[in-house]
Amino acid sequence: MKGTIQNREKFLNQISARLGHNDISNSIPQRSWKYHPQDEVLTDTSPDQLVEVLKTQCLKIHTSLLSANLDNLAATLDKIVTDYGGGPVVTWKDQRFSEWGLDRLMKDAWPKENIEVHEWDYTQGAENIRYAEKANIGITISEITLAESGTVVLLSDKDKGRTVSFLPACFIALIPKSSIVPRITQAARIIRQKHLDGHRVASCINFITGPSNSADIELDLVVGVHGPVKATYIIIDDI
């Protein structure tokens, strides 16, 4: 459904006049930049070196970083969940959990240990948010991971609720090693290219860098304000 636009003409005419454009069609811009500083940052770096950059950065953003392969991923994840005090757990509905061999853990082992697991299910509507609000841990997957800043990029859709990453007290992001890029520059280009290729931009793109925090009181850092209090990333060796 198309939205509405109100009061535009007069508003933009005034701007055009101030800029000395006869009308907007005189204003079609050519973007050509003299400077490209972003292309000099971490661009000659191998995937293994990027993992090292990411590890170092995680120390600065109060985030634990673990590495796993497909053989020990389940055990690694299980341990973190236990360390975080168990469930309830809320996860996206994502085929990849299954492909990475996590079904037994999430659908079998945890329920048996009384760790409640809720997989996002859009047919249940707002019920999902209530689960997320109650949950101790939220688990998501990073689509693009930024080594420089230690950032995971999450794209929302009907199976990937936004609140899985904000409402629970603890946040776990699974990071396929192949998703790691130098910095936000590459992520921006990937996202833009998808748009130019005719794909819809996700309604919510989250660049998340560690747990939530604030320095609003006497500039003292408090970790854990409105979003998660703790965060862990697990790099999965999929290359």
Partner 1 sequence: MTMKIGTGDFKERVDQGIHDSFMRGAVAGAQERMGTRRNDAAEELGNWEDWRSHGEEIRQHVLEHLDYYLQQLSENIASRGGHVFFAQTGEEANQYIQDVVKRKNAKKVVKAKSMVTEEIALNDCLKQAGCEVIETDLGEYILQVDDHDPPSHIVVPALHKNKEQIRDVFAERLGYQKTSKPEELAGHARLKLREEFLSADIGITGCNFAVAETGSFSLVTNEGNADLVTALPKTQITVMGMERLVPTFEELEVLVSLLTRSAVGQKLTSYITVLTGPREEFDVDGPEEFHLVIVDNGRSQILGGEFQSILQCIRCAACINTCPVYRHVGGHSYGSIYSGPIGAVLSPLLGGYEDYKELPYASTLCGACTDVCPVKIPLHQLLHKHRQNIVENTGQAPISEKLAMKAFGLGAASPSLYKLGSKIAPAAMNPFTQGDKIKKGPGPLKAWTEIRDFPAPNKERFRDWYKNRDKGGNQ
Coil, strand, or helix at residue 72? coil
**CA 27 to CA 15: how far, in whole Å?**
11
Does 2 interact with partner 1 (rule: CB under 8 A)?
A: yes
User: Phi/psi of residue 225, each to 5°?
Assistant: -115, -95
For partner 1, the closer CB: 49 or 69: 49
Taking the complex as a whole, the smallest distance from the CB of residue 225 to partner 1 amounts, in Å, to 4
Compute, in degrees rounded to 10, the torsion defined by CA atoms 188, 55, 96, 230.
-100
Nearest distance, CB of residue 95 and partner 1, angstroms: 17
Q: Which of the stretches 75-83, 107-115, 173-181, 226-234 binds partner 1 when contact is defined by CB under 8 A?
A: 226-234
Residues 168/129, Cβ–Cβ less than 8 Å: no
Q: Is 64 in the site for partner 1 (CB under 8 A)?
A: no
Candidates 65-73, 78-86, 135-143, 162-170; binding stretch for partner 1 (CB under 8 A)? 162-170
Q: Which of 59, 70, 75, 225 binds partner 1 (CB under 8 A)?
A: 225
Nearest to 72, CA basis, from 101, 109, 110 = 101
Binding mask 163-192 for partner 1 (x = CB under 8 A): x--xx---------------xxx-xxx-xx
Residue 39 vs 114, nearer CB to partner 1: 39
Peptide bond into 111 cis (omega under 30): no
- Per CB under 8 A, the list member of 55, 61, 67, 80 interacting with partner 1 is 61
Select the residue interacting with partner 1 from 100, 110, 148, 174 (CB under 8 A): 148
Phi, psi dihedral angles at 166 (to 5 degrees): -105, -35
Report how far residue 151's alpha carbon sits from residue 57's, in angstroms, rounded to the nearest whole number. Answer: 9
Q: Which of residues 81-140 bind partner 1 (CB under 8 A)?
A: 120, 122, 124-126, 128-129, 133
The reply to whether 199 sits near partner 1 by the rule CB under 8 A is no
DSSP assignment string, 91-143? E---HHHHHTT-HIIIIIIHHHTT--EEE--GGGTTHHHHHHHH-SEEEEE-S
Residue with tokens 């509405």: 4
Q: DSSP character for 34?
A: S
Interaction between residue 75 and partner 1 (CB under 8 A): no
- Chain positions 16 to 55 lying near partner 1, rule: CB under 8 A, are 16, 18-21, 24, 27-29, 31, 33-38, 40-41
